[in-house]
Amino acid sequence: MKCQDTEKYINLFIDDKLTGIRLKEYIEHIEGCDSCFDEMETNYLLKGALLRLEEEGSYDLHGELITKIRNTKKCLEVHEMVTMLRRVALICAGIALLFELVFVYAFYL
């Protein structure tokens, strides 16, 4: 993902509307690119501050942002693990089916 591509994802990320591979690529980019992280953080802080003014909540917006990124990465990791386990299960099912076919072929035909 290039810097110019990240602009359109800033608000989607802040509003939790960015998902899948785009979300993964976005997180990877902002973690390695200070200027894109700063731009996203500025947007996040501004938006958060406006909401807080209405709700009178906490003001540790930077901490909340770091937690949000950490949680998002955990979700992505779990999602990747589930995808991998699903693949392993499919492969096992395929092998089981193959054995069954060999068994049927060997004993009944």
Instruction: Write down the least CB distance from residue 53 to Zn ion, Å.
Output: 30
Considering the complex, state which of residue 3 and residue 102 has its C-beta at the smaller distance from Zn ion: 3
Considering the complex, state which of residue 8 and residue 87 has its C-beta at the smaller distance from Zn ion: 8
Instruction: Write down the least CB distance from residue 34 to Zn ion, Å.
Output: 8
Asked if 33 and 26 touch (Cβ cutoff 8 Å), the reply is no
Considering the complex, state which of residue 3 and residue 85 has its C-beta at the smaller distance from Zn ion: 3
Cα–Cα distance list, 71 to 16, 54, 98 (Å): 12, 25, 40
Instruction: Write down the least CB distance from residue 23 to Zn ion, Å.
Output: 16
Instruction: Write down the least CB distance from residue 12 to Zn ion, Å.
Output: 16
Considering the complex, state which of residue 27 and residue 33 has its C-beta at the smaller distance from Zn ion: 33
Q: Which parts of this chain interact with Zn ion (CB under 5 A)?
A: 3, 33, 36
